[in-house]
Structure 1
Amino acid sequence: MTVELRLKRRVDALFKAMSSDFLLREQFVTDPAQVFYEYVDGERPSAEVTQAANQLTYAVLSHPPLLQWLRDYASGHPDMPPEDVFAKDFSRAVARHGDDEVVLALVRGGGQREDTFRAQSALLKAIISAVGSGRGVFAGTEMSPGGGTEMSPGTGGTEMSPGVLAAGGGVFAGTEMSPGGGTEMSPGTGGTEMSPGVLAAGGGVFAGTEMSPGGGTEMSPGTGGTEMSPGVARMVSPDVQVTLDALTQFAKQMRASGALRVSGLG
């Protein structure tokens, strides 16, 4: 087993454990470098280096452009990238999206006698690896047993749309209730329709108007299988998201308090 694969498995196990262990998650949120080296890497550097690693991690996660970069980078790098590759990619991201807090964290690392950036990048790569390997369903992907049922906007079928309420009451007029083009429980032309109609002063006689998302929703045997499409972004699994959310929230608190404006110099 390669070093990278071993580290990746340990990172995945750590994030899975933190999703249900509140105390471990809080330890990671408030000192991510310490927990990472204790549970994953095994070789803990000095306190100065781990603090610099924490500072850079908080600076990145609390800065929306770099946080978005991290998420996008994780999509294309589900495995831990090599050290030199990550260093080049991250330096470009900092040049494009960085701010004072990020630069100060790097300056603090540069002021140490030890190889601080290796520790800083190791922690960031662990987070990237967890996000990349823990991503869920692709948007637009079909989840179906085959040629099963479609739930999608159609051109006919169940229609419901608000109308104008008429005087006096609560009776639906001209309303259709049917499973499609089949049995109707009122005068109509086809499809399941629930039509309020025209509402006049003081009343509730409904007539004519359809309530629908457009041309009607179909729920019927189709040809493309059961489709579920959440949007355009891949979603992060709950095991990772719960820890990432807590870590990001704490990072924002650290930024707001001014705790990230430290260079370690002078």
Structure 2
Amino acid sequence: MDIPPLILAFILGIIEGLTEFLPISSTGHLIIAGDLLNFNDERGKVFMIVIQLGAILAVVWEFRAKLLAVTRGLVVREPVAWHFASNLLVAFLPAVVLGLIFHHWIKTYLFNPYTVAMALIGGGLVILWVEKRAFHPHIKSIEDMRWQDAIKVGFAQSVAMFPGVSRSGATIMGGMIFGLDRRVATEFSFFLAIPTMFGATVLDLYKNWHLLSATDLPVFVVGFIAAFVSAYLAVAALLKFISNHTFVGFAWYRIVFGLLVLVTAYSGVIEW
């Protein structure tokens, strides 16, 4: 049965928003959902690029007070604001360099349910390993981060170019390994998502501008709004959740979901 385009846009927007900032990989979920719902053609890929903007703006809105304070601080040359902004820039650079080098190859060869499933399982095992280790964080606030800490997190983020790894998962786990407190790692992951996702989205839109059509506007608007609202709720919930929980639950979800994709493919239940 064919799903009406607006309902399909709403479903995928919800998936994007709920998974973008949780350590479970939004790209992986969208690849699998798009394949399952038969929305994985060129038009579908552009749609998934557009709805990322909704998720990004949700983070901007959630942290609007901090972002405005930093912006004002940059104008008046406040040292704390410049320190924060320079750390974001340093952490952002690895994704820029490696993304420009490997972007086309990754999009061509790795965007399929099988590689996503393997990455989901592998990422889940890494989370379990990190949570089992007795790390002793020495960075208790974002302001305490040095540029050396920022670039380490930036390289951790670049691992998420492999679909299914999860950008937020890579940065949060990387941050915890490199000495960031759990909440600091999570918040810095959110802030780092803003330039990283904006950059990736603008690049993808530029390369696929010819595929955009005015007739698709209602579908894009519905997906955009659904992604914004669900991402805003997910960010707020995750910040509350990590105050007294680990990421172990997300790890097991990743492993079970990845195995489910592989089992259904191997058994022929679903032709991915």
TM-score bucket (shorter structure): under 0.3
Please say which structure displays the higher CA radius of gyration.
Answer: 1
Higher helix share goes to which structure?
A: 2
The answer to which structure, 1 or 2, has the higher relative contact order (CA under 8 A, 6+ apart) is 2
Higher strand share goes to which structure?
A: 1
> What's the TM-score, normalizing by structure 2?
0.24
